[in-house]
Structure formats: C-alpha cells, structure tokens
Structure 1
Amino acid sequence: MIRMSLRQFRIQALAGAILLVLAAIYLLKLGADIRAAREPSQLPSQYGQTMLFLAAGFGLIPALIGAFWGAPLIARELETGTHRLVWNQSVSRRRWLAVKLAVLALASIAGSGTLSALLTWAAAPVDQVAGDRFNALLFGARVVAPIGYAVFGFTFGAVTGLLVRRTLPAMAMVFLAVIAVQFVVPNLLRPHYMPAERTTVSMSADAINQARSLGSITGGPVVGGLQIPDAWVTDTSALLTPEGRQLSDAAFDECLDNAPKTGASGRFGDTAVCLGKLNLHVELTYQPNRRFWPFQWIELALYLGFSSLLAVVGLWRVQRRVS
C-alpha cells in the first residue's frame, strides 16, 4: 500500500520537489543578502514589503496542498472506480485510506517544514529589528505553525474529496474553504489563546497622531492602529472621557469637522489638538511578544487537532457509506 501510494503520488511529488528547490534557492539568496546589509536598522523598510509578499504567498500553500494534493487523492479514485480493485484484495477500506493519508501528510509536513525553516532563517534579522512577530501574515509564515496549516489543508482536501466524490468541485471548495479558515483563525481565535493583558493609554495630541485612523464607517469615536512596544494589540476601546464614558458622537464630529485652526502638524493636525484637549483615553487589550512561541505551539496543536478529527470522519465514512 505504501509503495502504491507513493507511485500514484509521484507526479505531484515531483512538481512539489521542483518548486521546493526553486523556493529554497531564492530564500537562501535572500537570507544572504539580508545579512550582508550594512545598516541593520533599515532592514524593515528595505525588506518589509518583500516579507509581506512572501508571507501572503506562503499563506496560499495550505490551500494549494489541499486542492492539488488532498482533493484528488480519493475523489479521483472514486470517479474512475479504481478503489474497487484495491478493496477486492486483502486491503481493508480503512487501511487503504489511512495509508494514503499518512503518506501525503508526511510529505506535506516535510515540504511545509522545510519552507518555513528557510523563510524563518532568511527573515530573522528583519523580524528582530521590526519586532512585529504577531503580524497576522508574518506569524503564519514562521517556525512551526505552517506545518499545522499544511496538514490541515491536505486532510481537509482528502476528506472533502471523499465526501464530494468529484475532483474539480472538491478542489474548488477546498481552496476557498482553507483560505477562509486562515482568515477566521487569526482574527477570531488567535487573540484568545491566552488571557490578554490590558492597559490604559492617554490620548494626547501626540498619541492621536501616532494612530493610523480616526473614526469608522459608522462615524463612531474610535481610533485605530495604536501600538504598544513588543506587543500585539488585539482590541482598542472607543475614545473614553475621564469619567470612563464613551465620547459622544457630537463631540467627536465637532473635532473631526470643525477643529479650531492652530496650524498643528502631524497626521491628524488640528483634529488631534482638539481631541487632545478633552483629556481622553483608550483601553487596549494586547498579547506580549514573549508569548510568540506558546501561540505557535497552540496554533500547531489546534490545526493538528482539526486534522485528526477530519481523518476520523474520513475513516468512518469510507467504511460505512462509500461504495
């Protein structure tokens, strides 16, 4: 069974190996160039966009593994009927599926682990200077978490192919679903892996000018993009008065639209000065950067747990319902 699974997987394995070698050559060269830079403090501005581009591309790998390795694995055999040939031999259905899942899961681990190690090494000097380890894109392209994504993408693809029994529909469904999961987890689950810490920040004119945005689509008195050194800010309250009440929309709009002209500089200029005079503050919820490794292991365990549940569903399904 193992030999047969490897033989059936040889084309996908060859394509993956070629892409892996090309990616490894590029990352090794990138890492060498980064380490040859004369001004380490300029690395984030020089290579920041490259890191984000690579992380975004890295985020597609689990979806591609799921769509091109996982989805066709069972669906193609069910479409062509070749599964009956194996089942008429001495191999049980569950063993047939378990071996297929194990062989390609190990291939997914090897490929994603190698790429993750190379990218983590290449980007290490940039990450050290930037200190933005919890960036949603960058976090998912470093150390051990990508291994969990790859195993999940493959297992989800294989089980979806088993259930759908059509290769092309399964590939499309898996690709979109894995991307959706990778959007949901960082935004809804990751901030709560460990109890968050809280702090209060006074909103002086200088502090407001350090924010990235003021207001919202609905016009609420909110500020966005505030940062804490060596931490990931997961939630920011609305602008609060000294009494702890939310600043009224009328007072916020007055500063936003009709701030007295002072000639102030900064991102928000006169608006920041107007709001700064109101003695406002915000409450921030954050995760310290020292929790990066615990979060990596938690996320790896989460995705491996999802994958195990999917594998159990597949083994149950292939034994009872598939003919």
Structure 2
Amino acid sequence: MTLRQFRVPALVAAILFVPAAGYLVHLGQDIRAARDPSQLPSQYEQTMLFLAAGFALVPTLIGAFWGAPLVARELETGTQRLAWNQSVPRRRWLAVKLTVLGLTSMAAAGTLSALLTWAAAPVDEVADERFSTILFGARGIAPIGYAAFAFTLGAVTGLLVRRTLPTMALAFLAVIAMQFAVPNLLRPHYMPPERITAPMTADAINQARMLGSITGGPVVGGLRIPHAWITHASNLLTPDGRQLSDAAFNECFTNAPKTGATGTFGDIAVCLGKLDLHVDLTYQPNRRFWPFQWIELALYLAFSALLAAIGLRTVR
C-alpha cells in the first residue's frame, strides 16, 4: 500500500531525476576532456556553484513534497480512520512508511551526490575548495543524511500540524534553516582545529578579498591557506598581540602615503604592511574532508532517528 500510494510522486521524481543524471554524466565527460586542467576552476566555477545551489534544494523538496503530505494528508482528509482501523497497528503503519520512503529519499539524494562528486572531481582537485559551505553539502555522502532528515522532519511535522500546506511551508523553511545553521555553528567544531599565525605583509594583504568592515574596524577577510578551510580569522593584531586600533587602521585606509604600489589594495597594503601586523587563524585541513562527511552524515541520521521516535510515540 505504501508503494502504491507513492507511485505518482515517484514518477514525477523519475521524470526529473533521469535528465539530471544524464546531464551530470555528460558534464563529467566534458570536464575530463579538457586540455588544460589548471583552467578548470575558472571555466566551470559558475557551473559548479549553480549545481551546488540547485542541489541544496533537493532535501527541501523531499521534505516539502514527500515528507509533509505523508501523514498530514491522511489527517486532513480523514482517511486515517480507515487506515488505522485495519489489522496493521498505526505505529507499524508509520514505521513502514518512514522506512520505505526514507530509504528512497536517501537513495535518490545519494545517487545524485555520487554523480556530481564524480563529475566535479577534477575541478575540485584544482580549485582546492572542498570545504566551501555550498560545495561541501553537494559532495560525498552527507547529502544522504540531509535527505533522511528532511523527509522525516516533514512527516513528523505533518503529524503534529495536521494540515498539508502549512506543513510543507514549515518543512521547507526548517530544512533551509538547518542548511545555514550546521555549516556555521557545528561543522567547524567536528574536530579540534589547527592554528597558525600569519604575518600580514603588503603582499599578504593584497591577496585578501576584503579589507575593513562596515564599522571601519581592522578586519581582513578572504584569506587562504593552501589545502585548508579557515574557520576563524582574528582582526589585525600588533606585534604584542593587541588588536590594531581603529585610528591607526583608518589612517592607513584614508591617508596612506602615495607610493604608486599596485595590487588589490595598493598603497593601503603598503602602509599596513609597515606596521608588522599579523592575524591568528584556525583552520581544518582538507585531509579531514571525508571524516567530516561521515560525522555530518551520522549527525543528520541521529536527528532523523530522534524525529522518527517522536513520530512513533505521537502517532499512538
């Protein structure tokens, strides 16, 4: 009965899944046919970002369109009176639905993630940004956990809200909120970070992507460490470890001596470079990519199991 009720959503998903899988296979072949691998990041940067952003919608769609109506539709239309008065207990009824459709969701997300990971592998190897917030969630095995969580969240929310459309909206928003919260609040702390002190010479400042903040503070952003993900960067620090004063920073920012220096920040970088500044950085090396993938998968599966337990208790 679960499979029979799932026929139409499965057909719609298959219609979308097959072209997407075909495109990823074709993309992977094109990437591997490139003559100059060093140009792959610039050539496919926009494509990779577009695919990663689109892939982030897969769990939200699973939660909203597969999970949310699962129980909410039964309660909204009153058909649970028939379904829950058969020989199958309601807890077993819900457990079967969560298991069958949850595994289907995980298989769909895992297959797409495997294809994208394979297609993008040469680009990722050269770009060296595997821990990017957007890209990490579209690679490896973590998306399997996202799909399980989104589906279970939608189903249990429907059991509590009992209305399909509000449940779809809540599930959609909740999954997006998790996609923002986990990378920023939890992922940097899966393993103890490594630390380094980086001198802020004029060349180092010119390699940054941002200098200063909205409030005019001594902030430098967009620094990079080869083969690593920077999880935290301090403000500009003086040789004695104190934060550079706003006055000294703004003096260089607005009244830097004219030296004719080139680079992103030019004379400003030269002025700041003469102050013997540094920043303290914490980072996660790229060799931890797969341990982090396994940790995040386990985390989302644990969330899913907790939600399922709540649903099984509530359905009684």
Range of TM-score over shorter length: over 0.9
Partner of 1:271: 268
- Per-residue deviation, 1:40: 0.6
Partner of 1:76: 73
- Per-residue deviation, 1:182: 0.3
Counterpart pick for 1:35 among 25, 32, 35: 32
Question: For structure 1, which segment, 17-26 or 193-202, has the greater mean C-alpha deviation from structure 2 after superposition?
Answer: 17-26
- Per-residue deviation, 1:20: 1.0
Query: Quick one: percent identity of the two aligned structures?
Result: 78
Partner of 1:20: 17
Q: How does 1:113-128 map to 2 (within 5 A)?
A: 113-128=110-125
Partner of 2:99: 102
In the alignment, structure 1 residue 221 sits paired with structure 2 residue 213: no
In the alignment, structure 1 residue 137 sits paired with structure 2 residue 134: yes
Counterpart pick for 1:239 among 231, 236, 240: 236
TM-score (norm: length of structure 2): 0.99
State how far apart, in whole Å, the 2-side matches of 1:89 and 1:236 are: 60
Partner of 2:245: 248
Partner of 2:149: 152
Opposite residue 139 of structure 1, the aligned amino acid is F
Secondary structure in 2 aligned to 1:6?
Answer: helix
- Per-residue deviation, 1:216: 1.1
In the alignment, structure 1 residue 282 sits paired with structure 2 residue 295: no
- Per-residue deviation, 1:49: 1.1
State how far apart, in whole Å, the 2-side matches of 1:294 and 1:236 are: 23
- Per-residue deviation, 1:219: 1.6
Opposite residue 120 of structure 1, the aligned amino acid is T
Partner of 1:313: 310
The alignment covers a number of residue pairs equal to 316
- Per-residue deviation, 1:220: 1.1
Opposite residue 54 of structure 1, the aligned amino acid is L
State how far apart, in whole Å, the 2-side matches of 1:48 and 1:132 are: 11
**Structure 1 stretches of 4+ moved >2 Å:** none
Partner of 1:190: 187
State how far apart, in whole Å, the 2-side matches of 1:217 and 1:313 are: 44
State how far apart, in whole Å, the 1-side matches of 2:185 and 2:139 are: 20
Query: What root-mean-square deviation, in Å, do the aligned CA atoms of Structure 1 and Structure 2 show?
Result: 0.6
In the alignment, structure 1 residue 202 sits paired with structure 2 residue 211: no
Write the deviation string for residues 58-113 of structure 1: whole angstroms up to 9, x where unpaired.
00110000000000010000011111112111111110110110111011011001
Secondary structure in 2 aligned to 1:303?
Answer: helix
Counterpart pick for 2:89 among 76, 88, 92: 92
Question: What stretches of structure 2 of length at least 5 have no aligned partner?
Answer: none
In the alignment, structure 1 residue 295 sits paired with structure 2 residue 292: yes
Secondary structure in 2 aligned to 1:37?
Answer: coil
Secondary structure in 2 aligned to 1:220?
Answer: coil
Partner of 2:4: 7
State how far apart, in whole Å, the 2-side matches of 1:314 and 1:249 are: 54
State how far apart, in whole Å, the 2-side matches of 1:258 and 1:160 are: 57
State how far apart, in whole Å, the 2-side matches of 1:104 and 1:301 are: 19
Question: What stretches of structure 1 of length at least 5 have no aligned partner?
Answer: none
Secondary structure in 2 aligned to 1:194?
Answer: coil
